[in-house]
Chains A and B, each alone.
Chain A
Amino acid sequence: MFAFAVRRIIQAILVMLVISFIGFAVQYSIGDPVRDMVGIRVSAADREALRDKLGLNDPFMVQYKRFVWNALHGDLGTSYFYSKPTLQIIAQKAPATLELVFATAMIIVLVSMPVGIYTAIYPQKLFSKITMGVSTVGVSFPVFLTAIGLIYLFGVELNWLPSYGRGETVNIGGWETGFLTKDGLLHLILPSISLASIMLPLFIRLIRAEMMEVLETEYIKYAWAKGLTRRRVWLLHAFKNTLLPVITVFGIEIGILFAFTILTETVFQWQGMGFMFYEAVERSDTALLVAYLVVVGVVFVLINTLIDILYGLINPMVRIAGTK
C-alpha cells in the first residue's frame, strides 16, 4: 500500500508539471490578459508598462520557473480578473462543480444499472426497445440544446423549476452546499439531468452489452442448472461480473464529465469551475487557466487512484497483481 501511495504521488507531481508546462505554453495563443484589463483607448505604451509590471514580458522559462517556485510554496498565482489568489477562487467555485458532478454521477448510476440490467434480460420487451431507441438519440444530442430545452420546458412553460443559478446555499466550514436546502436541490435538478443526458445512454448500452455477454457464459448456464433463484443469478453472478469494465469506463467518463460542466454551467449560470474556466478563456485570464488545469490534473489522478482501489475490491485478481 505504501509503495502504491508513493508511486501515485510521484505520478501526480509529474502530471502537474507536464500540465502546467503545457498550460504555460498555450497561454500565449489564448490572448493578452492586459487587453481585457484596460479600456480600448489606453495607449500601447501604457499597456506595455502594465505588462512589465505583471512580469508578462519576461522570457518563457523565467516566467515558468517563477510559477513553479511559487507553486511549491502553495501559490498558484493571482487571477487577472478577480484580483485574488487563483487557488482561493477555485476553492470557492469547486463545491458547485463537485456537487453537480456528484448529483449527475448518482443519476447515472441509479438509472443506468437497473435499466441496463432490465434491457439485457428482456431485450424483446417494448420498454427495452424504446430505451435503446431513445438512447441513440440521446447520445447524439448536444448538451447545451438539452439544457436550453429543459429550461424552456420546466422553467418557462411549466414554471416548475428555477432556470438559472444554484439557489439558496448553506455554508458548512467554507463549503457552500446546495444539498441541504429545498431551493438548492430544486436548482440542481435541471443542470444535473442535462449533464447526465450525455453519459446516461452510453452507460445503459455498456451495461446492457456486458450483461448480455455474461448471460451467455458457461458459468451462468451452470448456475441456472444448479437451480439458483433468478435474482441470485442475475444480480450476483451475472451483474457483478459486468462491473469491472463498467467501472473502468466510469472512471474515465467522470473526468470527461468535468469537461462537459463547462457547457452545462455556462447555460445554467452555475457558479462552478467549468463556468469559471469558460469565462477565464474569454477574458484571457491565463493565470487562472493554468491554475485550473493543474487542479483538474490533481483531481484526475485522485479519481483514477480511487478507481484502482475499487478494482481491487471487486476483483481480487487485480489486487494480487498490484501487490506483486
Chain B
Amino acid sequence: MKKLLRLFAAALVLTVGLWSTGCDKKEEKKAEFKSAQSGTLKLALDADPKTIDIQEQLSGGMLQFSHWAFDPLVRWSQDMTFEPRLATSWERIDDLTMRFKLRKGVKFHSGNPFTAKDVVFTVKRFRDSADFKGLFEPFEDPIIVDDFTIDFKTKKPYPLMLNMITYVFPLDSKFYSGKDDEGRSKDAVVKVGYSFAKNNVSGTGPFKLVEREHGVKVVMERFADYWDTNSPGNVQKLILTPIKSGATRLASLLSGDVDFIMPAEPQDFSRIKENPNVNLFTYTGGRIITVQMNQKRHEALRNKKVRQAIVYAVNNAGIEEKIMKGTATPAGQMSPKGYQGYKSSLTPRYDLEKAKQLMKEAGYADGFEASMIAPNNRYINDEKIAETFAAMLSKIGIKVNLKTMPKAQYWDEFDRQPADFQMIGWHSDTEDSGNFYEFLSMCPNKETGYGQYNSGNYCNKKVDQMTLAAQTETDSAKRVKMLQDIEQIMYDEAAYVPFHWQNHSYAARKGLNVAAIINTMNFPYIGDLVMK
C-alpha cells in the first residue's frame, strides 16, 4: 500500500511538472505569434519545389514557386483576365505578332536591370527544356524593338498568345549566361545531375531565396528592391516546409507550428471549420476528372447507347457530396466555367431508370463484364472515386474489375491500355478548352501526337477538324462557337465519363487574407498576401 501511494505521488509530481512545462510552452507560442506579426509566414506544402530552375520541369509546384521568386510578363487574375506584371501593356500588330511594352526600373535579385534581352533569353531557353518546348512550339523567337519593347511572333495565327505569355517568367540573362568555374554552361537545362540553374536563382519576384535544403525547407525573404511597391503584401519572410502526410500537415497548423497549409484534405474539412482559430479556403480548379471507355478493347463500349447508359448511371452530385465533401464541382463536360468551350446547358445527367432503359435498347439488358484501372495517389480521392464508379455501374449490370495502382506505375500502364475503363484527370496548360480536346479527344495519332492520352480511342473526324481549326481562329465569337460545338458532340455521343472539376483547398490561421490571393490555377500569389 505504501508503495502504491509513493507511486501515485510520483505520478502526480510528474504530471504537474509536465503541465507547467506545457504552460511555458504556451507563452512561447504567444511570442511566436508576435514574430508572425513582424511578417514571417510559415507555409507547409505537400512537397517542396523539385528544383529552383523554373524551366526544368512543368508542374503545378514549379509554377507556384515561379510566382514567388519570379514574375511573369502577364498573369491570370481571379476573374480569368490578364493582369500586367513585367509587361505593362500589349497590342496586336498583325495576325502573327503582338507587341509588349515592358516595365522599366525592374531589378533582378542579383542587381542586374531587367530588359527585353532577358525575355528573349528566357523564350530561347524554353527550347532546351523537354517540358516546355512543346508548349512554345507555335512561337518564333521574340524580336527586340528597343530595350523595353518586344514583339512576340507565332508561326501561325494563334489565339492563345496571352495565355502562353503567362508562362514567360523572365530569367536574369546576365546571371545565367557564361561558364562556371568548371567550364560548364550556366544556361544548361539538366534533368539529372548538376546544373548552375539548379543551384542558383535570380528572378525579379517578391521573394529572394535565402536558404534551401531540398526536401526539408526553403527560406525566402522579401526582395528589398521589388518593383511592385503597390502590392499590399506584407510577408517579409517566407519559410516553406514540405509536410507530406495530410494529417500531420493539419496538426502542424492547428498547433500553431505553421500559418498556412496547402492543400487541405477533404476528410479534414469539418475539423478545420469547427476550429475558431483557422480558416478554410477553397477555389474552383480547372482539373477535370474523367473515365475513358476504350472502344477498341470492348465491343459493348463501341455502342453509343451503352456509353450513354454509363454516363446516366453516374451520380456526379453524390460523388461530390459524399467523397469529395464539397471540394469539387460536378461536371457534364470538359471545359470548366470561364473557358471558351464551356456550355451551360451541358450538365450531369444522373438517371438510373434511363440508364437501364438504354442498356436494354442496346441489347445489353443483362449487362457485361469489363476491366478498369485507376491511380491511387494522383488525384484527390481517385481510388474512392473509381470504387464508387464500379459500384454505380453494377446497378446497370456492368461488372467492373477494378485495379488501382500508384502513379509511379500508372502512366506506363495507361499507355499500354490494359483495361476497358481508364481514369484520367486533365488540367489545360493553356487554360483553354482546346488543350483538353488535343490530348483527350482527338483521334490518337502517333505522328502528330494528338490524342496522346485518349485511351478511349474515341474518334470523330468532326471533332478533330474543329479542334485544329480553333487553334488558329482569332475571331473570338467564332472560336467560342467551335469549342462549344465540340463539347456538345462529345456530350451527345458520350465520348467519356465526366465526374467533376477538382477544387483547390487551403487552410490558414486567422488573420491571413488568403481569399484575395488564390485563383483557379492554384498559384497563390503570396507576394500579395496580407497578414494581420
Interface 1/0 per residue, A262-298 and B, CB below 8 Å: 0000111101000110010111100000000000000
Whole-angstrom distance between the alpha carbons of A282 and B131 in the complex? 21
Q: Once the chains bind, are A39 and B59 in contact (CB under 8 Å)?
A: yes
Q: Once the chains bind, are A38 and B131 in contact (CB under 8 Å)?
A: yes
Whole-angstrom distance between the alpha carbons of A279 and B407 in the complex? 12
Q: Which of these, A47, A162, A279, contacts B215 with CB under 8 Å?
A: A279
When A39-B131, A81-B50, A267-B245 are in contact, do A156 and B255 touch as well, CB less than 8 Å? yes
Q: Does A253 reach chain B (CB closer than 8 Å)?
A: no
Q: Once the chains bind, are A156 and B254 in contact (CB under 8 Å)?
A: yes
When A83-B194, A165-B241 are in contact, do A160 and B22 touch as well, CB less than 8 Å? yes
Q: Does A158 reach chain B (CB closer than 8 Å)?
A: yes
Interface 1/0 per residue, A71-92 and B, CB below 8 Å: 0000000101111000000000
- The residue in A38, A41, A162 that gathers the most chain B C-beta atoms within 10 A of its C-beta is A41
Whole-angstrom distance between the alpha carbons of A32 and B215 in the complex? 21
Q: Which of these, A31, A46, A155, A269, contacts B412 with CB under 8 Å?
A: A31
Q: Once the chains bind, are B257 and A163 in contact (CB under 8 Å)?
A: yes
Number of interface residues, chain B, beta carbon within 8 A: 52
Q: Does B214 reach chain A (CB closer than 8 Å)?
A: yes
Q: Once the chains bind, are A159 and B130 in contact (CB under 8 Å)?
A: no
Residues of the B chain whose Cβ atoms lie less than 8 Å from the Cβ of A284: 408-409
Binds A, one of B82-90, B185-193, B294-302: B185-193
Q: Does A151 reach chain B (CB closer than 8 Å)?
A: yes
Q: Which of these, B215, B412, B429, B449, contacts A271 with CB under 8 Å?
A: B215
Within 8 A of A (CB), among B382-413: 406-409, 411-412
Residues of the A chain whose Cβ atoms lie less than 8 Å from the Cβ of B215: 82, 271, 276, 279
Residues of the A chain whose Cβ atoms lie less than 8 Å from the Cβ of B190: 83
Residues of the B chain whose Cβ atoms lie less than 8 Å from the Cβ of A282: 377, 406-408
B217 shortest CB reach to chain A, Å: 9
B37 shortest CB reach to chain A, Å: 19
Residues of the B chain whose Cβ atoms lie less than 8 Å from the Cβ of A29: 409
Q: Does A164 reach chain B (CB closer than 8 Å)?
A: yes
Q: Which of these, B29, B130, B195, B251, contacts A38 with CB under 8 Å?
A: B130
Residues of the B chain whose Cβ atoms lie less than 8 Å from the Cβ of A252: none
When A164-B243, A165-B241 are in contact, do A267 and B248 touch as well, CB less than 8 Å? yes
Q: Does A36 reach chain B (CB closer than 8 Å)?
A: yes
- The residue in A81, A83, A151, A165 that gathers the most chain B C-beta atoms within 10 A of its C-beta is A83
Nearest residue (CB) in A for B415 is A44
A234 shortest CB reach to chain B, Å: 17
Q: Which of these, B134, B193, B195, contacts A43 with CB under 8 Å?
A: B134
Whole-angstrom distance between the alpha carbons of A30 and B408 in the complex? 7
B428 shortest CB reach to chain A, Å: 10
Residues of the B chain whose Cβ atoms lie less than 8 Å from the Cβ of A32: 408, 411-412
Tell me whether chain B's interface is mostly helix, strand or loop, or mixed. loop
When A83-B198, A267-B247, A271-B216 are in contact, do A159 and B412 touch as well, CB less than 8 Å? no
Q: Once the chains bind, are B26 and A35 in contact (CB under 8 Å)?
A: no
A187 shortest CB reach to chain B, Å: 11
Whole-angstrom distance between the alpha carbons of A42 and B411 in the complex? 12
Q: Does A139 reach chain B (CB closer than 8 Å)?
A: no
Q: Once the chains bind, are A266 and B57 in contact (CB under 8 Å)?
A: no
B33 shortest CB reach to chain A, Å: 13
Residues of the A chain whose Cβ atoms lie less than 8 Å from the Cβ of B77: none
Q: Does A37 reach chain B (CB closer than 8 Å)?
A: yes
- The residue in A49, A162, A164 that gathers the most chain B C-beta atoms within 10 A of its C-beta is A164
Q: Which of these, A49, A163, A268, A279, contacts B255 with CB under 8 Å?
A: A163
Residues of the B chain whose Cβ atoms lie less than 8 Å from the Cβ of A44: 415, 452
A310 shortest CB reach to chain B, Å: 33
Q: Once the chains bind, are A156 and B251 in contact (CB under 8 Å)?
A: yes
Residues of the B chain whose Cβ atoms lie less than 8 Å from the Cβ of A25: none
Whole-angstrom distance between the alpha carbons of A160 and B17 in the complex? 12
Q: Once the chains bind, are B449 and A43 in contact (CB under 8 Å)?
A: yes
Residues of the A chain whose Cβ atoms lie less than 8 Å from the Cβ of B214: 82
Q: Once the chains bind, are A266 and B29 in contact (CB under 8 Å)?
A: no
B425 shortest CB reach to chain A, Å: 10
Q: Does A50 reach chain B (CB closer than 8 Å)?
A: yes
When A30-B409, A269-B248 are in contact, do A39 and B58 touch as well, CB less than 8 Å? yes
Q: Which of these, A42, A155, A163, contacts B130 with CB under 8 Å?
A: A42
Whole-angstrom distance between the alpha carbons of A279 and B406 in the complex? 12
When A30-B409, A41-B134, A50-B130 are in contact, do A279 and B18 touch as well, CB less than 8 Å? no
B522 shortest CB reach to chain A, Å: 15
Q: Once the chains bind, are A83 and B22 in contact (CB under 8 Å)?
A: no
Residues of the A chain whose Cβ atoms lie less than 8 Å from the Cβ of B254: 156
Q: Once the chains bind, are A283 and B408 in contact (CB under 8 Å)?
A: yes
B12 shortest CB reach to chain A, Å: 17
Whole-angstrom distance between the alpha carbons of A79 and B452 in the complex? 29
A-B contact pairs, 5 of them (CB 8 A): A41-B439, A80-B191, A155-B257, A163-B248, A282-B406
A-B complex: 9 closest residue pairs judged by Cβ atoms: A31-B408, A39-B58, A284-B408, A160-B22, A163-B251, A39-B131, A31-B409, A156-B254, A269-B243
14 A-B pairs besides A38-B131, A78-B192 with CB distance below 8 A are A32-B408, A38-B130, A38-B191, A41-B439, A42-B131, A80-B191, A81-B50, A83-B190, A148-B247, A155-B257, A159-B22, A164-B251, A269-B243, A281-B408
